[in-house]
Amino acid sequence: MTPQEFFSQISLNTARFERVAAFAGVPGFLSWQEGYALLTLAEEWPAPGDVVEIGSFKGRSTCFLAQGCATSGRGVVYAVDHFEGSPEHQKGGHEETAEIVNEGTTYGAFTQNLAAAGLQAHVRPLVGSGVDVARDFTGQARMLFIDGDHSFDGTKADFDAWFPFVADTGLVCFHDYQNSHYLDGVTRFIETVIMHHPQMMFLHRADSLMTFMKKAAA
């Protein structure tokens, strides 16, 4: 690496850290390490296609992904969510959410947060469940981020519905791996299905974010 390349990398990383800091106030459950990973992957991973996010909530992870698309000038984020929350977001849940309890939806907060970040042009909201939206989707994904229904069956349904749209060498990311609330859900799915899947290659872990690459079918 030349000195010019070295200092260019420092400048690039500094710019990314600034963007990560800018999204600190967007509500959600994504750590800055996870956000930095999503932003970098959305910006740099070389597979063809757009970014698909299953489970957008109030737009925290969407902002990181959309910023990666905006910076690279490559595609958009398809943000798939019914915006009605999961069981844990309902009244009395361990992540009770005011918008869900009072309004029945986080869609208003989602659009407001995207507008505040100036990223609306880089996001295409698709309102509905992951499985329902997939039936009408015709695109290709260079990156699939699954963070919707955290149950085993829900995670499996989202993966099965969207995996065919992921390009070869594209990425599949899962959130909340080994989160104590979801050990029998997304964690068990990753450990019993994904880690043994013939087309899935583990690449990286950032906190609870697990990233795999799709290999071409044999």
Q: Cα separation of 93 and 18, whole Å?
A: 33
β-sheet bridge partners, residue 124 = 78
Q: Cα separation of 210 and 200, whole Å?
A: 12
Catalytic residue annotation: 150
**Residues recorded for the chain:** 218
What are the residues whose beta carbons fall under 8 Å from the beta carbon of 199, sequence distance 6 or more?
A: 214, 215, 216, 217
Query: In Å, what is the CA distance from 30 to each residue of 21, 148, 176?
Result: 13, 13, 9
Q: Cα separation of 134 and 126, whole Å?
A: 10
Q: Cα separation of 57 and 156, whole Å?
A: 19
Q: Assess contact for 171 and 197: CB atoms under 8 A.
A: no
Q: Where are the beta strands (DSSP E) in 87-208?
A: 123-127, 141-146, 166-174, 200-206
If you count DSSP H runs as helices and E runs as strands, how many of each does the chain have, helices first? 8, 7
